[in-house]
């Protein structure tokens, strides 16, 4: 009888401990589980930082919380700081942390399932113009008022991103965590027009702006599209990811 009671109370105690741990981890954990809908082509499954990916008509819908899966100085003072804060350890001697901190921002990207060249090329918006495979927003080559990024660059953390005023973390240039974990030639994300973005190398060659058209892309076969596709490349020089607007017709982003 005593042993039974002990067992019952042990189980109760264990349950409380497990629940407490679970609760705690959901507060500090930035990882996401991706729910993938029917008929989603494999290439979109590389977007591991989304919460949901599904097909809606001629669009791929990607939902993300926009919390970087890598560390950042900008996690300082947030609920994720205990696991995700890391002081700046990059190489920019002019590094200066901006006053913003990372916040969760639910975003829904709706991108064309069959991207196609547009008759007139829309300019990219301020705010997200695409999404990286870790679910983080990709911004264009401009700061507010379409000013160059000259000063903003000094606020990029060691992984190449920073948060804006409302805490939306984003990359304007190479996301170093992704190119180091996935490879310099890997698929990095998609712009809103549905065309993919690749890292700064291709067939072991570093791509420069001179290799690309005015929209910052070109058409070749890639590992994900062996029959060839138009794609953007990240380069180390301005404009970094996109040039003079979208090559194709952009979908939408809502936050």
Residues that bind Zn ion (CB under 5 A): 202, 220
The CB-of-132 to Zn ion minimum distance in angstroms stands at 14
Nearer to Zn ion, 78 or 164 (CB): 164
Q: Which is nearer to Zn ion, 40 or 73 (CB)?
A: 73
- Nearer to Zn ion (CB atom), residue 83 or residue 151: 151
Minimum separation from the CB atom of position 170 to Zn ion (A): 6
How many whole angstroms separate alpha carbon 47 and alpha carbon 134?
A: 6
Q: State the Cα–Cα distance between residues 155 and 128, nearest whole angstrom.
A: 18
CB of 96 to Zn ion, least distance (A): 13
- Residue with smaller CB distance to Zn ion, 39 or 166: 166
Please enumerate in sequence order all residues whose Cβ is within 8 A of that of 174, keeping only pairs 6 or more positions apart, or say none. 160, 199, 200, 234, 236, 240
In the DSSP assignment, the letter for residue 81 is H
Strand positions, DSSP E, the chain: 35-36, 50-56, 59-64, 107-112, 130-132, 137-138, 161-163, 169-171, 187-191, 196-198, 201-202, 205-206, 217-220, 229-233, 252-254
**Nearer Cβ to Zn ion, position 29 or 224?**
224
Which single residue brings its beta carbon nearest to Zn ion? Answer: 202
Q: Least distance from C-beta 70 to Zn ion, angstroms? A: 17
Q: Tokens in use for 133?
A: 């495979």
Residue among 24 and 236 whose Cβ is closer to Zn ion = 236
**What's the min distance (Å) between Cβ of 139 and Zn ion?**
5
Q: What is the DSSP string of 154-197?
A: GG--TTSEEE-TT--EEESS--HHHHHHH-TTSEEEEETTS-EE
Closest separation between CB of residue 180 and Zn ion, Å?
20
């Amino acid at each position: 009888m005593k042993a039974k009671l002990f067992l019952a109370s042990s189980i109760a105690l264990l349950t409380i401990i497990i629940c407490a741990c679970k609760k705690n981890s959901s507060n500090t954990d930035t990882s996401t589980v991706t729910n993938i809908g029917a008929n989603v082509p494999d290439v979109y499954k590389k977007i591991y930082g989304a919460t949901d990916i599904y097909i809606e008509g001629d669009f791929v819908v990607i939902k993300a919380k926009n919390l970087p899966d890598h560390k950042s100085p900008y996690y300082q003072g947030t609920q994720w700081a205990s696991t995700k804060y890391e002081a700046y350890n990059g190489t920019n001697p002019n590094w200066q942390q901006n006053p913003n901190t990372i916040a969760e921002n639910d975003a829904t990207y709706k991108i064309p399932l069959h991207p196609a060249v547009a008759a007139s090329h829309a300019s990219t918006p301020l705010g997200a113009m695409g999404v990286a495979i870790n679910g983080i927003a990709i911004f264009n080559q401009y700061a507010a008022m379409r000013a160059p990024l000259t000063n903003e660059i000094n606020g990029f953390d060691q992984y190449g991103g920073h948060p804006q005023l409302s805490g939306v973390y984003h990359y304007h240039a190479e996301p170093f965590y992704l190119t180091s974990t996935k490879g310099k030639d890997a698929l990095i994300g998609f712009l809103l027009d549905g065309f993919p973005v690749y890292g700064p190398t291709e067939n072991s060659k570093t791509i420069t702006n001179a290799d690309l058209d005015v929209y910052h892309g070109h058409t070749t076969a890639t590992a994900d599209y062996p029959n060839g596709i138009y794609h953007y490349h990240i380069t180390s020089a301005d404009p970094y990811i996109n040039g003079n607007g979208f090559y194709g017709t952009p979908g939408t982003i809502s936050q």
